[in-house]
Amino acid sequence: MRIGELAARAGTTPRTLRYYEARGLLPARRDDHGHRTYDERDLRLLEQIRTLRDSGFGLEETRPFVECLRAGHPEGDVCPASLAVYRRKLAELDALIGELRGVRGTVAAQLARAEAAAAECPEPRCELGGETW
């Protein structure tokens, strides 16, 4: 298939495919007329990249998965390098979750303090958008 058809089937643009080709993620095969040609394996590579990108993986983080697929594995995540990327991403997510829990605790404490102060606020109460403060 040609670049336009692959882009349409993968839900992306020919420009993105050319970028992936330049980054070495998509093979650069040409026919006798110099047109880029692709097959179902290339579509599978793009599906793997998109799935990972949608899950928050950076483009370079997809490389081991693509290489695993190219090595003939039906799933791109069974190779040691792919597993290492999964482990790193999981550790990164766990750290972010920890940070978010800390931020949530701070916001919850601020809300509790502000609600207690608002309950003791003399009339007229502060209203956003109103004239009274």
The half-sphere exposure of 24 on its side-chain side, counting CA atoms within 13 A, is 6
- CATH no. of 3-119: 1.10.1660.10
pLDDT in tens, 84-118: 999 999 999 999 999 999 999 999 999 999 999 98
> Does 125 score more than 70 pLDDT?
no
The predicted pLDDT at position 120 comes to 85
Q: Which residues contact 65 (CB under 8 A, 6 or more apart)?
A: 48, 49, 52, 76, 77, 79, 82, 85
Least confident of 37-41, 90-94, 122-126: 122-126
Banded model confidence at residue 20, pLDDT cuts 50, 70, 90: very high
**CA 125-131-133 angle, 5° bins:** 40
What average pLDDT does range 48-54 have in this prediction? 95
* pLDDT given at position 132: 52
Phi-psi region of 122 (alpha: psi -120 to 50; beta: other; left: phi over 0): beta
62: helix, coil or strand? helix
Global pTM reads 0.77
DSSP conformation class of 1: -
Averaged confidence pLDDT in the chain? 92
